[in-house]
Amino acid sequence: MSAAADRLVVAIDAGTTGIRSRVLGPGGFRGPSAYREFTQHFPEPGRVEHEAIEIWEAARDTLNEVIGAVGADRIAAIGLTNQRETVVAWDRTTGIPHGPAIVWQDRRTAARCEQLRGDGHEPMIRRLTGLVLDPYFSASKIEWMLANGVTVGPDLAVGTIDTWLIWNLTGGERYVTDPSNASRTMLFDINARRWSPELAELFGVPIEALAEVVPSSGVVGNTSARCGVAAGIPIAGIAGDQQAALFGQACVQPGMAKNTYGTGSFVLLNIGSTCPPPVDGMLTTVAWTLADGTTHYALEGAIFVTGAAVQWLRDGLQLIESAADVAELAQSVDDNGGVYVVPAFTGLGTPWWDPHARGTIVGITRGTTAGHLARAVVEAMAFQTRDAIEAMVAASGTPITDLRVDGGASAVDAMLQLQADQIGATVRRPNDLETTALGAAYLAGLAVGVWPDLAAIASEWTEDAVFEPRDTGGAADATHALWRRAVERSRQWEQS
């Protein structure tokens, strides 16, 4: 092991379907990693649950595996990133969960959210939290738990996955969360950066049952021998997964943005230290708070379907045998042949937030081929991202300087060139695409001096490829205008 890698950081990436622990260090050091899946439970339609103990065991086991591979004396800190909005309730005396965790995907509180909207509460929620009133966020899940068997008392803990894992890692000594996770609960005032008494009262959540909010970067406690992990390792970084990816992409200055092209896509734009008023169709969230109190905010655009449309080409239409084949098929034609695919399979997210939109294909002629459909699906990723970014820029007044990308579809060079042309900004693909883990590691390492400052972190980011916008003579705007016409034909379709 090189001298540059003498002080290492373990990033625990606690995702929705599994947990990966990964060793990282300065100078681009990439050490061992370990992964464990955990069970997904679907007890009823619209309900998604996890067993909190199983999540903790997966985190503990992967952490022990990678620490064992490099030696505990090498580990300077642990950073944690997690699936957001999922909540766990447990007893702080016994450590026993009060039933299963309710996952971010769960929709059991949809009717309650509609009731709250009808009662006129959404403007206050938007003003305080920057979020839309939706069961996606944690507050209505916690309210449901408290109405269905979870008893309020002095030993009640109710928190997001970061809180649950840190509580276990410290042997029950530290009960904390960070602003990036707190801002996704719909109980957190993102301007005052504290739990909101008004929202706690609205949802019937006792504030004393909520975790202490600490910086995203800073030592919050140490691992305990009681947890079954090597004792005394500082836990020094916490962030929700999308905010961690923004930090992992070194988007540390206002105007820098990242997009993750996954099943869906999340576009986050760093808008600096001033929290803007809420804007329709856009989410405002805390990106991170550093140890010195510096807080950055982000605008977040949610795109429901990107990679899932490629899966539809494979599984639904059987036009390709594997997702990787879409690039070759899309490049078998010179253009989209006038075909536009709006993949609104479950509605449209940012900036439309139209749950009644449905998937639409327009422009088909007798000459339309499978290649045209594939190209239209790939182009839809770039068009949807442009829509989200334009809404963010309009809302914040912060122009985008470049877009850093990761996720499966970021391997398709032709799509990234189209993306650059559409947004009129540089698109950069990094060498290391596991950006959520990188963000957790950087936040932790910054707190303990593995990386001395943000400039050192930014210098670690290296690009695999860069795509500059081309002067298309107005062609990019013309194709985007046709895309927007197609979007309008998809909207409110379910109610027609």
SS (HEC) of 233-251: CEEEEEEEHHHHHHHHCCC
Tens of pLDDT, residue by residue over 404-456, are 998 878 888 888 999 999 999 999 999 988 888 999 999 999 999 999 999 99
What integer pLDDT is reported at residue 495 of this predicted model? 64
Going by C-alpha positions, the residue among 152, 233, 258, 168 that lies closest to residue 200 is 152
Mean pLDDT of 95-117: 88
Cα distance between residue 200 and residue 197, in whole Å: 5
Work out the number of other CB atoms within 10 angstroms of the CB of residue 431.
11
Q: Which residue ranges form the domains of the chain, and what is each CATH number?
A: 3-249 (3.30.420.40)
Considering all CA atoms of the chain, what is the largest pairwise distance in Å, rounded to the nearest integer?
Answer: 69
How crowded is the C-beta side of 34, counted as CA atoms within 13 Å? 16
Going by C-alpha positions, the residue among 490, 327, 352, 302 that lies closest to residue 414 is 327
Tens of pLDDT, residue by residue over 45-87, are 778 899 999 999 999 999 999 999 999 999 999 999 998 889 9
What integer pLDDT is reported at residue 1 of this predicted model? 39
CA distances from 483 to 7, 329, 378 (A): 50, 21, 13
Mean pLDDT of 90-106: 90
Work out the number of other CB atoms within 10 angstroms of the CB of residue 274.
12
Tens of pLDDT, residue by residue over 172-212, are 999 999 999 999 999 999 999 999 999 999 999 999 999 99
Q: With a cut of 60, say whether residue 378 has pLDDT above it.
A: yes
Going by C-alpha positions, the residue among 43, 156, 59, 148 that lies closest to residue 106 is 43
Residue 180: DSSP 8-state? H
What integer pLDDT is reported at residue 4 of this predicted model? 43
Tens of pLDDT, residue by residue over 112-135, are 988 999 999 999 999 999 998 888
For 381, the token pair is 């990723």
User: How confident is the prediction for the chain on average, in pLDDT?
Assistant: 90
pTM of the model: 0.85
